[in-house]
Structure formats: C-alpha cells, structure tokens
Amino acid sequence: MTDGRPLVVVGDVLMDRDVSGRVERLAPDAPVPVVDEEAIRSRPGGAGLAALLAAADGRPVTLVTALAEDLAGVELRAMLVERGIEVAELELDGATPEKVRIGTATRPLLRLDRGGAPGAVGEPAAAIRAAIGWAAAVLVADYGRGVTAQPRVREALEALPAEVPVVWDPHPRGATPTRGVALATPNLAEATALVPEPAGDALPAVAARARALAARWEARRVCVTCGARGAVLSGAGGAPLAVPAEPAAGGDPCGAGDRFASRAATALAAGATAEEAVRDAVAAASAFVAAGGARVLGGTEPAAPAGRAAGYAPGDDAVALADAVRAAGGTVVATGGCFDLLHPGHIRSLEAARALGDCLVVCLNSDASVRRLKGEGRPVVGEADRAAVLRALRCVDAVMVFEEDTPAAALERLRPDVWAKGGDYAGRELPEAAVLERWGGRAVVLPFVDGKSSTRLIEEASLRAVR
C-alpha cells in the first residue's frame, strides 16, 4: 500500500533520558559511586521511539498516544513534531512517564523511573478513531500503560478491514492483541512467560510457542524475536521460518524491539509478505544494534564520531545516522534516484558522492514513485531489493525510501550538508536547490558517466529477448 496513507502507531510514550559521566570516587557517606555528569541525552521512548524509527524509514507517521501537560510531555511533543510525526492525543491522568538511565560510557549504574503507576487515559476523540481508520498499516507498541486497553481504541482497531495489516508488539502488563492481527512480535522472554512448555529456547520450542500464541490470539502470524539469534516466524500451521541475525559485536540492544516492529510494519504497509517483512526487520534491528541502538538518537551533547569506520553498518536509520554524523562535526552527503538495474555508472557516481563527506545516504524512489516517473513496467527490480543492493555497497551508509515524485520531503527530514546529483544535470538549475537553502545545504553535480543508463540496459535486454 503506497498511496500516501500513514503508518499509525498506537501506544504508550515514555521519555528516555541517558545521564552519562565519569566515576572516579565513592561517596563519603555511603559505598556508592559518584557520577560526575558529562552529558544528558533525551529521546522519545516506548511508542514514541517506534514512531520515530518508522518515520526514519520515509513513511508518513501518525502517533496515537497519551501525554500529560507537564515538562516531559511538552518536550516529547516538540521532539515528535520536529521529526514530522503527527500526534493524536488522549488525555493522560497522571505524569508523563520517564526512564532515567545513569552510568558511564561503558557501564550502566542505575535506572530511575518517574511517573508512577500506569495512568488512566481519557476517551479518544472521533479524530483519533478516524486516524486509525485511515491507516495504511498499524503498529501497536504496547508498553502496558493503558492506551491499547482503552475500549474505543480497541474498537477502532477491530474495525479495520482485513487488508490493513496490524503489527502488535505486546507487553507483559499490556492488553491482549485484537483478533486477526497480521503479525504479533513478542520477544523470547515474553513468549516463554505466556507459553512455558515446551521448555528451552531451541528452535522447535520457540516455534511451538509462536504457533500456540497464534492460536490463542487468533493472529495470522506470530514472530518471536530472539535477540542476537534472530527471529522465528510461525502461524497456526505450516513450517516455521527461522531468520538469523547478523552479528552486532559491541552494539547496544536498547530499542531493538521497536526497530524490529517498526520496520516490519513499514514493510507490510508497502505490500511485503510476512516472511519478507520479518527478514527486513531482522536486518534492520541488527544494523540498529550495531550502530549503538536508541542511544544514538537525540541528545544535548555530541555523539561519538559516526560513519561506517566508527561502527555504523549499512542500512542504519538514515535520520539517526545523519544526526549523529552532524553532532560529531561531520558532513552528511545525500544523493537520490531510482537505481533500477544498478550499473557501473551508478557505482562511480555513488563513490564520488561518498568522497564528498563523512556519510552517504541514498534517497531511493519507491516502486510507485518510479512507476509514475518511468511508466508501466518499471521498476524492473522492487524497492526492497534495490535498497538491499545499495546497502551492500561499501560507499553507501544508509538508504531512505521515499514515496513522493521528488525527494524534497526526504531531504527535509535528512537535512544533508551536500546533495549530489548526476552529471546529466550539469549546467541546469537543480530542482532541490531551494529546499537545501532552508538549512544552508548545497547542491553539487557529479561527473557524468557516458553510455551508462538503466533504461538503455532494459531496452537492450528487451531487444535481445525479441530476437
């Protein structure tokens, strides 16, 4: 479904704060470490993190949640709106919940939770029910604080037509998934608590839990995420699918579940099968962990230097990567195109673009966008495969798929320092120049590689097939 309808994220938003510093002594009045504060990083957590990550995938996002009129609530609204996320609110009875993690650069020491018990939420307005009804897909990011248990919210979810996929990321204290969800994504600990037998975490036991939960919840498919081991997808019948994860040595798993669920939801919204969505989500979660997890998002102090040499893997969230590179004083470069049938001309242009800065983000036309630009029969290669090939290139640090005819909206989210265009634009006014001027970015034209064209390759292949 690529008609411009949003992905709707439904769930509880938290404020996550990371306080980091040095520990060089113990307190004189108790044997506890003294943390000399160096940096505080704040970011949306819970359903807010899931929404932020989904928006980074290039799809419009509406977040249905509950926020209080307190300092944390105001701060969260500003963070979400800044990322282009539309927020539809229920009234929260109580304080906006906060999780404050205190530690050093290498070791967590303490977590402080604020906000008390889950707060009751008010009756959703008709606009909220309408937002759910207009979704291309829905991600329920349940953190057990009441939004997903609200009767009218559940009614709106249950009223969705079968062709609108719902991904439900459950919580031990949360609501039971509504009937018929396309994909439920409990982690292994959650699945084991719900289905203790058969014992163990071997593949057959995990698959049995997934099948049992699919039957219990009347879900079409259940995918049990197993951390560094990957994920196991199963339904009421059929053989399970085991998807291994790429190793992410030294990474941070904070937020990996939200990265998995948000990528699965955006893939299903774009028309992927459950198997394709799970494979994509496992790859995205692995890259996210390798990049440093949720801790690379937001913050008031510069992050560690970014870029592939500093631990960023291809396929990371483009906006998060760009933010981290900028925070470290680096230069963000972006380029764009359809990249249908990748050829040597593309490779040379991408390598030239990467040489202009510290990271390269490719803005990739979606299948629907390519079809509008190139006509029926294009693209020859689907967007998921085109993105996967680009991410595999050493010169590409991240890929952002966009639905529109131009990359203007994607550029607004990325705000690159440099926008690189192909040599066929030499001597012409670049259409993105006006957008770049808003934040001081500049456009450059790359050297033209003569005789290299996807269209020409497709035409030649067609002629050979006719002969």
Which SS3 state, helix, strand or coil, does residue 42 take? strand
Question: From CA 89, how far away is CA 131, in angstroms rounded?
Answer: 11
Q: Output DSSP code: residue 297.
A: S
* Terminal-to-terminal C-alpha distance of the chain: 37
Characterize 413-443 residue by residue with b for buried, 16 or more Cβ atoms within 10 angstroms of its Cβ, and e for exposed.
bbbbbbbbbbeeeeeeeeebeebbeeeebeb
Helices (H), 159-199: 188-194
Q: Output DSSP code: residue 26.
A: E
Q: Which amino acid is at 426?
A: A
Pairing mode of beta strands 442-445, 418-421 = parallel
Number of residues in the chain: 467
The residue annotated as part of the active site, out of 12, 57, 169, 258, is 258
Characterize 350-373 residue by residue with b for buried, 16 or more Cβ atoms within 10 angstroms of its Cβ, and e for exposed.
bebbbebbbbbbbbbbbbbbbeee
Active site residue 258: yes
Question: From CA 28, how far away is CA 103, in angstroms rounded?
Answer: 19
* CA dist 110 → 25, 33, 86, 101 (Å): 16, 10, 33, 6
Residue 36 structure tokens: 């000399």
- As annotated, the active-site residues are 258
